[in-house]
Amino acid sequence: MKHILLLSPLAALILAGCGGPTPQVEKDGEDIAAVEAATEAEVANIESEIEAVPVEATLPGIMADLITADYSEFETVRYEAGNIDLNADGVDEWLVYVMGPGICGSGGCPLKVLGQNDDGVFTIATLSVTQMPVGVFDSQTEGWRDLAVTVGGGGMEYGVARVPYSGDSYASNPTVAPAELTEESFTTVIALPSFE
């Protein structure tokens, strides 16, 4: 949400630049050129924040095919993905934040946790109502790192939930137990998109 609100000055600046030179005008005693210069400085600050966001890894084709198959009834499917070894077996699992019209609701979008072995690709878990960023905590449950999932929207305040592994999967809803809200820091695996 922060990025959407912050992009408004960027969009205004881009659109203003399309019309050619802007005459210096005053409105209610304000120098418009000074306001535009301040807006340019704000945009530069926003761009430096966006550039600091880590770039997600590219999802391997076989996993992208699984996402496409899982959401085949939807016309437009987008995703952000990142990889990390969740169970210390030396093989990375993939976190995939799936987006698109009809896929997401007011509480967020699904987060898929994918694994791969000699038999192919498989879904470890699908979590509902998640927001970005997502990542992992240093803590573990049953040998798997606890997920850090941003939650909020749909009437819920924004926060980060610790989602533990439970036997064969992660809890499917990060807004109810056994997931719990926490203020602990975590390692980001999927950051907010850069909109570039």
Assess whether 96 and 170 both reside in one domain: yes
Average pLDDT, the chain: 78
- For 128, the domain range is 61-190
pLDDT tops 60 at residue 171 = yes
Sign of the CA dihedral with 9 first, then 14, 19, and 20 last: positive
pLDDT tops 90 at residue 11 = no
Assess whether 90 and 178 both reside in one domain: yes
Examine residue 146 and state whether it is found in any structural domain, yes or no: yes
Assess whether 31 and 77 both reside in one domain: no
pLDDT, tens only, 88-139: 999 999 999 999 999 999 999 999 999 998 888 999 999 999 999 999 999 9
Assess whether 146 and 170 both reside in one domain: yes
> Strands 120-141, 109-117: parallel, antiparallel or unpaired by DSSP?
antiparallel
Averaged pLDDT for residues 61-81: 93
Averaged pLDDT for residues 174-196: 90
Assess whether 78 and 167 both reside in one domain: yes
Assess whether 47 and 75 both reside in one domain: no
pLDDT tops 80 at residue 153 = yes
Examine residue 25 and state whether it is found in any structural domain, yes or no: yes
Assess whether 47 and 68 both reside in one domain: no
Domain count, the chain: 2
Examine residue 158 and state whether it is found in any structural domain, yes or no: yes
Assess whether 38 and 111 both reside in one domain: no
Claim: this prediction has a pTM higher than 0.85: no
CB atoms within 10 A of CB 186: 21
Assess whether 40 and 72 both reside in one domain: no
Assess whether 96 and 161 both reside in one domain: yes
Share of residues in the chain with pLDDT > 70 (%): 69
Examine residue 56 and state whether it is found in any structural domain, yes or no: no
Examine residue 195 and state whether it is found in any structural domain, yes or no: no
Interatomic CA distance for residues 187 and 162, integer angstroms: 12
